[in-house]
Amino acid sequence: MKALYISYDGLTEPLAESQILPYIRGLSRKGVVFTLLTFDKKAYLRESYRVRRLESQLKLDGINWARLTYHKRPYVFSTVYDILRGFFVSVGICLKDKVKVVHSRSYIAGLIGMSLSRMFGTKHIFDMRGLWPDEKVDAGIWKKRGILHKAFKYFEKRLLLSADEVVVLTYKMKWLLESFTYLKIKA
C-alpha cells in the first residue's frame, strides 16, 4: 500500500525526528510505501549534514522525502501559501505514486489531507494531537471567538467529520471528542 504522510512540522526538527520517523519506519517495515512531505524551517535545512543523514536513512528504509520550506511571515498569509504549495506538491505525489492513504499530522496538514481525500478518494487519517484552535487561545495568541479561532473551529469540525480515522494522544482527548454532538451523528 502507498501512503503519503504530511507534517507541518519539519523532519529536521528534533521532535519530528523522534516522533514521526519511528512511526513511519515501523509501518514501512510492514510493507507500507511512504512518501513523507514536511515543511522544514530554513535554519534546520542549512544543517546540511543533518539533512544528508536523514536522506540516507530514509532511502535505506525505502521512504521518499519531499520537503518544502516553512514560512512564518507575514502571519496567516504565509500559512495559506504553505497550504497551497503543500496541496499542489501532494497532488503530484498522489498522481505519481497512486497513493491510497493520506496521514496528516496537524490541522494545517489536515486541510491538505482532507482536500486530497475528496479529490482522489483516498483514506484520510487525521492526527490531531490536541484541540489546536483552543490551544492558541489558551496561549494568548488568538482571541476566543476571534476570526482565526472561529475559522479553525469550523475546519476542526470538517476534519473530524471527514476523516476515516482520527489519532489522539490521550484517553482524555478521546473521551472529549466522544462528547462532541456532531461526532455522535457520524458514529
Q: What tens-digit pLDDT sequence spans the chain (187 residues)?
A: 999 999 999 998 888 888 899 999 999 999 999 999 999 999 888 888 889 999 999 999 999 999 999 999 998 999 999 999 999 999 999 999 999 999 999 999 999 999 999 999 999 999 998 899 999 999 999 999 999 999 999 999 999 999 999 999 999 999 999 999 888 766 5
pTM: 0.94
Instruction: Please state, in angstroms and rounded to a whole number, the distance separating the CA atoms of residues 67 and 64.
Output: 10
28 vs 33: CA distance, rounded Å? 6
Kindly give the pairing relationship between strand 33-40 and strand 2-7.
parallel
C-alpha 73/C-alpha 37 separation (Å) is: 21
